Amino acid sequence: METVIGLEVHAQLRTRSKMFCGCPTTFGAAPNTQTCPVCLGLPGTLPVINRVAIEFGVRTALALNLRVNAGCRFARKHYYYPDMPKNFQISQYEEPLAEDGWLEVDTEAGTRRIGIQRLHLEEDVGKLVHEGTLETAQASLVDYNRAGVPLMETVSRPEIRSPEEAAAYLKAFRAVLVYLGVCDGNMEEGSLRCDANVSLRPRGAPELGTKVEIKNVNSFRNVQRALEFEVQRQAKALAGGERIVQETRLWDADRGYTRSMRSKEYAHDYRYFPEPDLVPLTFEAEFVDAIRRELPELPRARRQRFVADYHVPAYDAAILTQSMALADYYEAAVGEARNAKAVSNWVMSELLHVLPGDDERAIAASPVPPAHLGALVRLIDDGTISGKIAKDVFEKMVRSGEAPGTIVEREGLTQVADTGALEAVIDLVLAGNPKPLEDWKKGKTAAAKALVGLVMKATGGKANPAIVNQLLEAKLPRL
């Protein structure tokens, strides 16, 4: 059997204000404090389109190779639920913003191009807070802070062939959105949400099998797990001669299974019709072209360029290009230091450990700007400080925000490379530690390493270990 998967991804756009009113979109505010008559759907209010949300939609459409339609139109989607203040959602239906694109996804099996059917904009709904569980609650409260936050829905074609590929698609998709700056990609806070459609069919069959929609698969891992479970469930059912029922199933991440929410007979009739309170939008070619010109280099292309230009391993390139801010940081630091691999190591093993994340805000607030990190790598490369001292200097840079040169100079951390001074120290060490010398003489070559260590210790780590080594190698045979 062949697995057929399609993903619907809802992304909250990072606009400052909501889709149809001026309320802020920040997450986590006290309930119902980010609302106004418009997003509360009060009688008499009217929506006004957020131009930035439209630009974000067009930007994403272009990045995902979709055709931006010459015009688009909003439509009302009706169903009754208290988290939706008007009992209809302003969405797009017959005339979406963009259609027919694709996203290239790198999987173990190679590069796959997954088709994207459409991209449209809509408004998010509020959140219900139940006292206890939904089944036992005596009352429910509604928080409309999220109601009206711009949402971008992107529907893939049913061209994903495995649960792993679905997770890879979602990862690549997220990376593009985060790069474009249109979504923060935070799946825990619900900025990015995913529903999956899955069906099975005999390999090579032209028509699709009966599909099941899985809701609530809001992490890469859960997308994969839920789909794996569902593929097995369907395979087993089909093998047993059962028919698959077209239905919506909910993924229960704690218990690791999907369960039926509603079948097709109970499917909503959304009664779509064009939103009469908004005029249809038409896009001038110049408007779209201007956005196209401003498109940044996308994660996949940048990753490939990092490998080609900086000769960093693909693994490094993948991490460094996770966010545009981090990739920019990396390139700025390399510009200072030249040693691309060393900078990569410092970014991955040190910088990312002290920053709260790799997003724009975390990078912008980094106490170590890229020029400082580059300068630090340069100090190591030109022998001014040792790698070991550099770690201490880095810690101080994190605390104080100072440039590494300033710290090194003030604290006298420059490596001792003066052979005369070092020979004097070596003589003292040899005089004070006859045991390792004896060992060396007996042919234990490892004793030389111990002596290097002792010299380093005596200089407080400032000695250039390579020079100490050279000096000892010259001196020992003569003793």
Partner 1 sequence: MTTDLTRLTIHELTGAYRRREATPTRATEEYLARIERLDEQLGAYLTVTNDRALGAAAAADGRYRDGAPLGPLDGVPLAYKDVLCTQGVATTCGSKILEPFVPPYDATVVARLGVAGAVMLGKANMDEFAMGSSTEHSAFKLTRNPWDLTRVPGGSSGGSAAAVAGDLAVASLGTDTGGSVRQPAAFCGVVGVKPTYGRVSRYGLVAFASSLDQVGCLTRDVRDAALLLHAIAGVDPHDATSVDEAVPDYAALLAGGVKGLKLGVPREYFGEGLDPEVEAAVRAAIARLRDLGATVQEISLPTTDYGLAVYYIVAPVEASSNLARYDGVKYGLRAAGGKDLIDMESRTRAAGFGAEVKRRIMLGTYALSAGYYDAYYGRAQKVRTLVRRDFDAAFAHVDLLVAPTTPSVAFKHGDKADPLAMYLNDVFTVPGSLAGLPALSLRCGFNAAGLPIGLQLIGRPFDEARLLRCAYAYEQATDWRSRRPSLETTR
How near is the Cβ of 225 to partner 1 at its closest, in Å? 32
273 binds partner 1 (CB under 8 A): yes
Q: Is 214 exposed, middle or buried (0-12, 13-18, 19+ CB in 10 A)?
A: buried
**Contact stretch for partner 1 (CB under 8 A) within 77-85, 257-265, 302-310, 361-369:** 77-85
Strand pairing of 75-78 and 88-91?
antiparallel
86 binds partner 1 (CB under 8 A): yes
Residue 257, SS3 per DSSP: strand
Q: Is 194 exposed, middle or buried (0-12, 13-18, 19+ CB in 10 A)?
A: buried
Residue of the chain from 2, 277, 309, 473 that contacts partner 1 (CB under 8 A)? 277
Q: How far apart are CA 302 and CA 1, in angstroms?
A: 37
Phi, psi for residue 201 in degrees, rounded to 5: -150, 155
46 binds partner 1 (CB under 8 A): yes
Nearest 10 degrees: Cα torsion 56, 62, 67, 68: 30
How near is the Cβ of 252 to partner 1 at its closest, in Å? 23
52 binds partner 1 (CB under 8 A): no
315 binds partner 1 (CB under 8 A): no
How near is the Cβ of 187 to partner 1 at its closest, in Å? 29
276 binds partner 1 (CB under 8 A): yes
Contact in structure between 187 and 219 (CB atoms under 8 Å): yes
Measured from the CB atom, the residue of 15 and 89 that comes closer to partner 1 is 89
How near is the Cβ of 273 to partner 1 at its closest, in Å? 6
Q: Fill in the amino acid letter for 248.
A: T
Nearest 5°: the CA angle 288, 291, 295 is: 135
How near is the Cβ of 85 to partner 1 at its closest, in Å? 7
Residue of the chain from 49, 237, 244, 307 that contacts partner 1 (CB under 8 A)? 49
33 binds partner 1 (CB under 8 A): no
Measured from the CB atom, the residue of 81 and 315 that comes closer to partner 1 is 81
Residue of the chain from 10, 14, 76, 372 that contacts partner 1 (CB under 8 A)? 76
Residues 6+ apart with CB under 8 A from 126: 83, 84, 85, 142, 143, 144, 145, 146, 147
Q: 230-264 as b/e, with b when 16 or more CB fall inside 10 Å?
A: bbebbeeebeeeeebeebbbbbeeeeeebeeeeee
458 binds partner 1 (CB under 8 A): no
Measured from the CB atom, the residue of 49 and 354 that comes closer to partner 1 is 49
Task: Looking at residues 105 to 164 of the shown chain, list those that interact with partner 1 (rule: CB under 8 A).
Answer: 140, 142
Instruction: Give the binding site for partner 1 (CB under 8 A).
Output: 37, 40-49, 76, 78, 80, 82, 85-88, 140, 142, 269, 271-273, 276-279
